[in-house]
Amino acid sequence: MADDKKKPEELANISYRLPEKSWMDTPVDFRKGTYNYGAVAEKAKYLGLPHARKWQPMDADWQLPENWKEIILEGMRERLDKFRSFRIFMDICVRCGACADKCHYFIGSGDPKNMPVLRAELLRSVYRKDFTAAGKIMGKIAGARELTVDVLKEWFYYFFQCTECRRCSVFCPYGIDTAEITMMARELLNLVGLNIDWIVTPAANCFRTGNHLGIQPHGFKDSIEFAVDELAELTGAKVEAPINKKGAEILFVAPSADYFASPHYYTLLGYLLLFHEIGLDYTWSSFASEGGNFGLFHSNQVMKRLNAKIYMEAKRLGVKWVLGGECGHMWRVLHQYMDTMNGPADFLEVPKSPITGTVFEHAKSTKMIHIMEFTSDLIKNNKLKLDPSRNDHWNVTFHDSCNPARAMGLLEEPRYVIKACCNNFHEMPENTIREQTFCCGSGSGLGTDENLEMRLRGGFPRANAVKYNHDVYGTNLLLCICAIDKATLPPLMEYWVPEVDVGGIHEMVGNALVLKGETRRATDLRGTPYPEPEPAQSEGKEVAKDV
Amino acid sequence: MYDGGKIIFGIVVFLALVTFPIWFNVAVGKTDFAPDPKIVTVGEQCMASGEYMKRKHMDMLDVWRDRVVRDGQRTFIAPDGKEYEMSLSNTCMKCHPNKTEFCDQCHNYLAVTPYCWECHIEPKETTEVANGN
Amino acid sequence: MGIIISLVAVIALTLVAWIGAGTLGLHYLFGVIIPYLALAAFVFGLIYRVVKWAKAPVPFKITTTCGQQKSLPWIRHNKLESPFTGWQVFGRMLLEILFFRSLFRNTKMALKKGPRLVYGSEKYLWLAGLAFHYSFLVIVLRHLRFFIEPIPGFVMAIQNLDGFFQVGLPIIYITDGVILAALVFLFFRRVINPKVRYISLAADYFPLFLIGAIALTGILMRYFEAFKAELIAVKELAIGLVGFSPVVPEGLDVIFFIHLFLVSVLLMYFPMSKLVHMGGVFLSPTRNLANNNRNRRHVNPWNPDVKVHTYEEYEDEFRELMKAADMPLEKE
């Protein structure tokens, strides 16, 4: 990518002109930088996925199984019978076009097949041909078309060009959710062995080692201990971070990037400092060392297989309830799927904060709460001493991650925590936040280097809103609560708004948190030195911000 | 999860709404009612054919009103060449003074509520009741 | 392409009724048999579609949340955009179905120099959609006067309200104008907006033309002297149909048969087209489910047994490494 990288001005020169020819007659073009590599056979085999083989999307021959068409159509029939959503969404679209300019990939690429309605039509046209009378009889007039290898290639290209962010479903008058359609399409593609590596490899790793990165138990322990040591250096605090501790009250599960990647790492430091300060009786688990779940991007079966370890581990360790870290798609799985798939969690108790006594009734069945719910409750009950001026070097804005916003409704909790920890907070324009938030452009397993151009295009609407804030308010830090965001927003910012860094909310909590007996920190959690205090100020700094 | 109960309830509501005319007519309807306007023949025949009048008397009256009120014309030449005074009360109602049995028969049947009587005095048969006040 | 096919189809259907009922005089076929078939196709077709949807379970509770979840008591819960209880879902669905809530959110994106992306409010589709659907509803309800006797007060009330301005004779109904205007807008939006034109199929133009033709023939019969229908005969036919003792009275013209035939086509076409959104909108899982996933477990009837990786298998594979790292073990 390095040499053929387009400049931002070029990439933003997007043509929304539509082709003369009908979309059915426009073949897919696998352009470099806009698609992902195929799954490595060995990893697909480890998960027992069908028709694993050495294969790449740019190959002319995809070496499909001989009866591939039968497999796909049978798979469609099965899913039409199993998912009401699929059947309804195939049937009721009126092509009003309200969704058309809501997709970040369409906005960033101008490719009409990235309009959610057309993405769905790619599948719907085949549905009509083989599952409806009108399509069987009238064919193309009824919008039906034959399933061919070219159609399959088109599916692969465009259903791995949807981040399942659900923004379109907010605007659809019938609530048609392209994420759901993409999920069905990806399951179908999997049936004939068409997967992408960035999904299958993390999923296989996670199945084996408990986390996407394939970190083995001792490596996990090393990472956490490294963070503990670093905290001692940065703050002087002697933090304890128990791992696989039986009988702890709470199991804490975070996305694996938190302990292995930057800037996630500073969020990890924030968690550790917070748990230390409130004296939380909790444990990490090396087996359930991943909150994220790339199975969500693959199939409901793999999602269930990966998710199972959380309840299994909670049971084995004998904890009372589970706390989850900052992650986006992880929370879609935990909120909308876990209890259904691997519950009921009747061996756990309704989550109750040991510090404030608050009972989290809204999670009484799943028995797992989001750390934003936990921390905002602590702050509301004045259990934390916070000095937001320690974040004064940051002028922050908040990127709602797709899944917490549109599959959970976690909107106010993070804002409450940010406002308690930061003095300079400005929202981005209203059509780009909360339920209308824009995807980072790299979600649902598409965050690869080979897909970089498409990621930069897809992330353009988000970056453009950040740029607005940077220009108007001087924003220099983009906060988010998603591990994929933290991994993919930094290159996005570097490309579009290089002045803005990316961080997690618990990094802000960690900075602002005044530990018992602590007077002053030399640096923030990133090691950036604070300016030397003027003598008169030092006292004021200890005062917690009242919220 | 199927929500079968709710869906069946929905289908029942749909059926009830679609078949509303059927069960309404069975329950309270007078489906055997057919309007039968009584024609009291003072004159020998109407100024136009019954067929024409059935469909288009309202258009004719509309034209009459405009001619009389706006142009001051009062004379109407019928298709057969005869002359009539353009007047609802004096011409039409002369032969058809029985509003209830003549006009209202069809008007009520079709939910037509012409605003003739907002200006014109209704013919006797009904005014008698009104005078009683 | 789709436009021409649809237009030709509607013209052809008009001719079918014209020749069939007019030239050939097949009044019983067009007045009785086809309407009965159409009504049956509509009712049973729609029920068939709904039952087919109903037979597929909702395996997961996949609400699209458009507002703050219910969590901590001091955080204001958005009951309609992120409903927690059944009644709140009911409220959300009412907003969707009666007021097209989601479409009301519609925005329009534009890329300005800078580059700068801007999003403006775009309510015309919402307005035209609402105008079309409500006009259609009122027109259907007004037509009840042909099917029932005596005519109940609510039909009279709707009719009076629709003719509120008392313009013209017969009084011009507001909905007659509004439905035509809405159809014209929806058609031109489809043709002029390049994105919408690109996604449009014949199946998108056909209902517009068909409903347009129905509205036009209706308007001709009501307002234009040359096409006036004999309403007594129309009501006799209609009442006969709903009473299952059909008679074809004298005095029905070709234009009436065209109108009736096009309505019959619409009824038959309804269940096998996108128009089933009328039923489907009630069953959309992103809207009709409560966002209370962690509070109340949703059961998937086909929850599959899957191969999982157990802790024992994990420890078996990594025991030595864990031991060396001094991590707690189940089996030494």
- Shared-domain flag, residues B50 and B68: yes
Picking from C57, C144, C232, the nearest residue to B35 by CB comes out as C232
pLDDT of residue A1: 43
Which residue in chain A is spatially nearest to C302 when comparing CA positions?
A82
Q: Which pLDDT does position A407 carry in this prediction?
A: 97
pLDDT tier at A104 (50, 70, 90 boundaries)?
Answer: very high
Q: In the prediction, which pLDDT does B41 show?
A: 65
> How much of chain A exceeds pLDDT 70, in percent?
97
Searching chain B, which residue's CA lies closest to the CA of residue C47? B11
Query: B1 and B55: one domain?
Result: no
CA-closest candidate to residue A407, choices A435, A440, A447? A435
Who has greater pLDDT, C286 or B1? Answer: C286
Does residue B25 share a domain with residue B75?
no
pTM of the predicted structure, to 2 decimals: 0.93
Q: What is the pLDDT of residues C29-43, one digit of tens each?
A: 999 999 999 999 999
- C62 contacts A184 by C-beta, under 8 angstroms: no
Amino acid present at A180: E
Using CA atoms of A433, A434, A436, A441 in order, give the dihedral in degrees to the nearest 10: 60
Instruction: Name chain A's partners: 3 or more CB pairs within 8 A.
Output: C
Is B45 found in the same domain as B13? no
H helices of chain C, in order, are 2-17, 27-28, 34-55, 86-99, 101-104, 124-142, 144-147, 153-162, 174-192, 194-199, 202-223, 231-242, 254-269, 277-280, 311-324
DSSP A173-229: TT---HHHHHHHHHHHHHHTT--BHHHHHHHHHHHHHSSTT---HHHHHHHHHHHHH
Q: Would you state the structure tokens that stand for residue C116, as one six-digit string?
A: 């700068």
Alpha-carbon distance A162 to A103, whole Å? 9
As a whole number of angstroms, the distance between CA C142 and CA C157 comes to 9
Which pLDDT value is given to residue B42? 64
Bridge partners of residue A398, in order along the sequence: A479
Residue C291 belongs to some domain of the structure? yes
Q: Do C155 and B24 touch (CB under 8 A)?
A: no
* Domain that includes residue B4, residue range: 1-33
What are the residues facing A386 on neighbouring strands?
Answer: A513
Is some CB atom of chain C closer than 8 A to the CB atom of A107? yes
Residue environment code for C6-30, b if the CB has 16+ CB neighbours within 10 A, otherwise e:
bbebbeebbebbbebbbeeebbebb
Average pLDDT, chain C: 95
How many contacts does A have with C, using Cβ atoms within 8 A? 320
Between C40 and A546, residue with greater pLDDT: C40
C291 contacts in A (CB within 8 Å)?
Answer: 408-409
DSSP string, B5-34: HHHHHHHHHHHHHHTHHHHHHHHH--TT--
Neighbours of chain C (3+ CB pairs under 8 A): A, B
Indicate the pLDDT class of residue C165, thresholds 50, 70 and 90: confident
Q: How far apart are CA A282 and CA A252, in angstroms?
A: 7
Pairwise CA distance, residues C197 & A385, whole Å: 58
Between residues 57 and 96 of chain C, which touch chain A (CB distance below 8 Å)? 57-72, 74-76, 78, 81-82, 84, 96
pLDDT of residue B38: 80
* Spatial contact of C22 and C249, defined as CB atoms under 8 Å apart: no
With a cut of 90, say whether residue A546 has pLDDT above it: no
Q: In this structure, is residue C319 part of a structural domain? A: no
Name the residue facing C145 among B54, B55, B111 (closest C-beta). Answer: B111
Kind of pairing, strands A368-370 and A321-324? parallel
Chain B contact set for C155 (CB, 8 A)? 111
Would you call A455 an interface residue with chain C, using a CB distance cutoff of 8 Å? no
Higher local confidence (pLDDT), A3 or A338:
A338
Tens-digit pLDDT profile for residues A32-53: 999 999 999 999 999 999 999 9
Contact C284 A102 (CB under 8 A): no
Query: In chain C, how many domains are there?
Result: 1
Q: Based on the structure, what is the number of domains in chain B?
A: 2
Region A260-265: mean pLDDT is 94
For helices C202-223 and C124-142, angle between their N-to-C axes, nearest 10 degrees = 50
Mean pLDDT of A462-491: 97
Q: Using the beta-carbon criterion (under 8 Å), do C283 and B7 form an inter-chain contact? A: yes
In terms of pLDDT, which residue wins out, A403 or B60? Answer: A403
| Interchain CB distance below 8 Å, C198 and A180 | no
Q: Over range C81-104, report the average pLDDT.
A: 97
Nearest CA in chain B to C226: B56
Note whether B74 and B126 are same-domain residues.
yes
Task: Domains for chain A: give ranges and CATH numbers.
Answer: 12-30+50-194 (1.10.1060), 201-380 (1.20.1050), 388-512 (3.40.50)
A183-238, pLDDT tens digit by residue? 999 999 999 999 999 999 999 999 999 999 999 999 999 999 999 999 999 999 99
Give the model's pLDDT for residue B130: 35
Residues of chain C with C-beta less than 8 angstroms from the C-beta of A284: none
Q: Are C148 and B24 in contact (CB under 8 A)?
A: yes
Q: What is the rounded distance in angstroms from the CA atom of residue A510 to the CA atom of residue A533?
A: 19
* Whether B13 and B58 share a structural domain: no
Identify whether the C-beta of residue A129 lies closer than 8 Å to the C-beta of residue C190. Answer: no
Chains B–C, number of C-beta pairs less than 8 Å apart = 95
**Residues of C with Cβ-Cβ distance to A173 under 8 angstroms:** 96, 100, 102-103, 129, 281
Q: Do A365 and C296 touch (CB under 8 A)?
A: yes
pLDDT of residue B129: 37
* pLDDT (mean) for A154-176: 97
As given in the structure block, the two tokens for residue A161 are 């060009």
Do the Cβ atoms of A75 and A187 come closer than 8 Å?
yes
Dump pLDDT digits (tens) for C93-139.
999 999 999 999 999 999 999 899 999 999 999 999 999 999 999 99
* C326 belongs to a structural domain: no
Residues B45 and B29 in one domain: no
Instruction: Look over chain B and give the mean of its residue pLDDT values, rounded to a whole number.
Output: 83
pLDDT of residue C168: 80
Is the model's pLDDT at A2 over the cut of 80?
no
Beta strand pairing status for C107-112 and C116-121?
antiparallel
Chain C residues near residue B28 by CB distance under 8 angstroms = 150
Tell me, what's the pLDDT at B84? Answer: 87
Residue C219, C-beta contacts closer than 8 angstroms, at least 6 positions apart? C176, C180
Contact C43 B15 (CB under 8 A): yes
Tokens 């030195």, residue?
Answer: A529
8 Å CB contact between A404 and A336: no
Q: Are residues B19 and B76 in the same domain?
A: no
User: In a mutagenesis test of the A interface, which of C1, C117, C299 is the best target, namely the one with the most A β-carbons within 10 Å?
Assistant: C117
| Residues C270-309: b if buried by 16+ CB within 10 A, e if exposed | bbbbbbbbbbbbbbbbbbbbbbbbbbebbebeeeeebebb
What pLDDT does residue A539 have? 47
ipTM over cut 0.90? yes
Residue C331 is assigned to a structural domain of this protein: no
Asked if residue A536 has pLDDT above 80, the reply is: no
Contact at CB, B2 and C145, closer than 8 angstroms: no
Which among C111, C293, C321 has the least Cβ separation from residue A14?
A: C111
Sequence-ordered list of residues with C-beta below 8 angstroms from that of A416, at least 6 positions apart, any chain? A376, A379, A380, A547, C75
Helix (H), strand (E) at residue A253: strand A250-253
pLDDT of residue A308: 97
What CATH number corresponds to the domain at position C276? 1.20.950.20
pLDDT of residue C52: 96
Predicted confidence (pLDDT) at residue A545 exceeds the cutoff of 70: no
What single-letter amino acid sits at A353? S
A414 at interface of C, judged by CB pairs closer than 8 A: no
Q: Give the Å distances, CA to CA, from A174 to A118, B31, C12, C82, C201.
A: 16, 40, 32, 16, 19
What was the pLDDT predicted at B37? Answer: 83
Q: Taking a C-beta distance cutoff of 8 angstroms, is the pair A133, A115 a contact?
A: no
- Please indicate, yes or no, whether residues B12 and B63 belong to a single structural domain of this protein: no
Query: Which pLDDT value is given to residue B43?
Result: 66
**Is the model's pLDDT at C299 over the cut of 70?**
yes
CB-CB under 8 Å, C308 with A175: no
C-alpha to C-alpha distances, A407 to A438, A478, C164, C299, nearest whole angstrom: 14, 21, 46, 18
Q: Which of A80, A100, A362 has the CB atom closest to C70's CB atom? A: A362
Whether residues B22 and B53 fall in one domain: no
Residue pLDDT, tens place only, A296-321: 999 999 999 999 999 999 999 999 99
* pLDDT band of A538, cuts 50, 70, 90: very low
Q: Is the pLDDT of residue A500 over 70?
A: yes
Residues 483-502 of A with CB under 8 A from C: none
Supply B110's token pair: 């079709």
B65 and B108 belong to one structural domain: yes
Mean pLDDT of A433-458: 96
Domain that residue C51 falls in = 2-307
Task: Kindly indicate the confidence band of residue A3, based on its pLDDT and cuts at 50, 70 and 90.
Answer: very low
* Distant-in-sequence, close-in-space partners of C287: CB < 8 Å, separation ≥ 6: A174, A175, C63, C64, C92, C93, C96, C102, C281
Helix (H, G, I), strand (E, B) or coil at C150: coil
CB contact under 8 A, C149 and B110: no
What confidence category does residue B132 fall into, taking pLDDT thresholds of 50, 70 and 90? very low
Same domain, B7 and B59: no
Mean pLDDT of C78-104: 97
